[in-house]
Amino acid sequence: MNCYNGGYTNPNNCYECKCPTGLGGRNCLSVEKSKTPKCGGDLLAGYDYQNITITAQNGNVHCVWRIRSNAQVLVYVDELQLPCKATCTSYLELKFKTDMISTGSRHCCEPPNAWIASESNTFVIIYTANVLTDGFGTWGFKLRYKLCKF
């Protein structure tokens, strides 16, 4: 079984892979399926800015996006509204390193306040809001992305 992006053969089923968070599919070549309907998926970055905006009220949300381009991907988080806790159980995770095994930078109190460029042509964004640990509220984020041209 060939597993990609740091995935490995599932020891309980040698016909499938265990994939890094944010990636999925039989060989870890796809974006992880979001647990929340109508959010997440594969996106293509172009020369113009595109937006991802999500607002979740009173519920558990888990969405995963994979943004790809023919060059690096540039992301800026404009707004982030999540409970500010030391454990950061509700968060926006930005995976921009070539190594997809590592956890990305997780943000819950403040947005990063900087443009972030992916090391490769792939940028994975994971948004998790957990009402069970963080209570009810109106949470969400807004970000911009585009192809990074230097």
Tens-place pLDDT, residues 10-46: 999 999 999 999 999 999 999 999 998 889 999 999 9
pLDDT of residue 132: 65
Give 117-141 pLDDT, tens digit per residue. 999 999 999 999 876 666 666 788 9
pLDDT of residue 88: 84
CB-based contact 7:27 (threshold 8 Å): yes
Task: Sketch out the chain's domains with CATH numbers.
Answer: 1-32 (2.10.25), 34-148 (2.60.120.290)
CB-based contact 64:54 (threshold 8 Å): no
Q: What percent of the chain shows pLDDT beyond 70?
A: 93
